[in-house]
Amino acid sequence: MQGAINVNDIRKLARRRLPRAVFDALEGGAGDEVSLRRNRAAFDRIEFRPRPLADVAKRDLSTTVFGEQLSMPILLAPTGAGRLARSSAEIAVARAAARADVVYMQSTVGAFTLEEIAACSTGKLWYQLYLPPDRQEVKNLVSRIAAAGYRAIAVTIDTPVLGNRERDARNRLLARPPHPKVLLQGASRPVWATDFVRGRVEARRPGRPGRPVQQSLDQTRTSIKTSSDCVTWEDIELVRSLWDGPLLVKGLMRGDECDRLVELGVDGVVVSNHGGRQLDGVPATIDVLPEIVDAAARRLAVLLDGGVRRGTDVAKALALGATAVLVGRPYLYGLAAGGEDGVLRVIEVLREELDRTMALLGAATVADLDRSLVSGARVPGA
């Protein structure tokens, strides 16, 4: 891990440690992975127009979201598959986030219950909500989220059915009993396999709290037959009526839905295409960001995820109006490569890169990052 100087280096370490099918499950996108590639390509297309001669001797990366001070505008996105990378999964991620003082948005799907994760973390936790198929359970779930101390809820709206993850199908990742190909790959990575089996045994330990919501979601999510995963406007209203804290929707990809979200009392959105894992063919998130920022007109916090791999990407998103960004795969690489310390390393690499980028741009604070600092972005009307 010491020799890894950027996220891509840490990705290479993760690829070495994980069986091929597992790495693919974390890395892959949907269909032909057009949107997955677009997320990255669009960041690379945007150019900086630095504003030198500014006094950037001291930089302040902190920002405020929903009245809360964040040490920097980077959050950890919800990823339900952390247990594939390492058995410590969400616990390791939550602990690293707390050590780095960044927000961890924890997924509804995971190896640990929301209470277990909250109990292990002194940090700032937000909760990503997949609605339970039985809407009667929503009230109870929201009460648990509040009681455990989560500060915000983000309802993911882009997953009525699971995206077409062809890498997983080709690798027979979900075959039960496990496909010999997968078992063979696992055997070729004994360190990973030992940890994975330990995690499975621990999960079945008698007396461990049940995870009824997550389990039912795991089952429905692998099927495209159910419609219970659909989130509708009525569901957003329902969650709003049950939750007093900040409410976001995650997965917004167009500006014309902002007015209605504001009317329903939503506080923020995450511009996201689920890291290219849901509908293939949608634009890069950074390409629709300006449209959504303009439509939100300061009434909503506008966060973004998808393809953020460098501090320069963070600066580009903020310059185009994002309140903050989230990263998914980067910290999963860190988790696979080095557990809690690996996640921390990824966060610190991104922090250092953002700090350097701001200095070179002539931006001493996050508020100094504005549209004049970038060109080549798809800005409406430009």
The binder of ligand FNR chosen from 88, 121, 272, 323 (CB under 6 A) = 272
Can you tell me the distance from the alpha carbon of 51 to that of 202, in angstroms, rounded to the nearest whole number?
A: 54
Residue 278 in the binding site for ligand FNR (CB under 6 A): no
Can you tell me the distance from the alpha carbon of 380 to that of 382, in angstroms, rounded to the nearest whole number?
A: 5
Residue 328 in the binding site for ligand FNR (CB under 6 A): yes
Residues 82/110, Cβ–Cβ less than 8 Å: yes
The binder of ligand FNR chosen from 11, 165, 167, 274 (CB under 6 A) = 274
Residue 272 labelled as part of a binding site: yes
Residues 306/29, Cβ–Cβ less than 8 Å: no
Residue 214 in the binding site for ligand FNR (CB under 6 A): no
Whether the ω angle into residue 206 lies within 30 degrees of 0, i.e. cis, is: no
Who's near 73: CB < 8 A, 6+ residues apart? 61, 63, 65, 314, 318, 322, 323, 324, 325, 354, 366
Residue 274 labelled as part of a binding site: yes
Residues 37/287, Cβ–Cβ less than 8 Å: no
Residue 290 in the binding site for ligand FNR (CB under 6 A): no
Of 86, 274, 310, 351, which is the active-site residue? 274
Strand partners, 163: none
Residue 280 in the binding site for ligand FNR (CB under 6 A): no
Minimum CB–partner distance for residue 277 and ligand FNR (Å)? 6
Give, in order, the Cα–Cα distances in Å from 109 to each of 202, 210, 212, 214. 17, 13, 11, 5
Residue 156 in the binding site for ligand FNR (CB under 6 A): yes
* Size, binding site for ligand FNR by CB under 6 A: 23
Look up residue 210 and give its two tokens: 């049940």
Residue 308 in the binding site for ligand FNR (CB under 6 A): yes
Q: Which stretch binds ligand FNR (CB under 6 A): 74-82, 132-140, 287-295, 339-347?
A: 74-82
Residues annotated in a binding site: 78-80, 107, 128, 130, 156, 165, 250, 272, 274, 277, 305-309, 328-329
Residues that bind ligand FNR (CB under 6 A): 26, 39, 77-81, 107, 109, 128, 156, 250, 272, 274-275, 277, 305-308, 327-329
Catalytic positions: 274
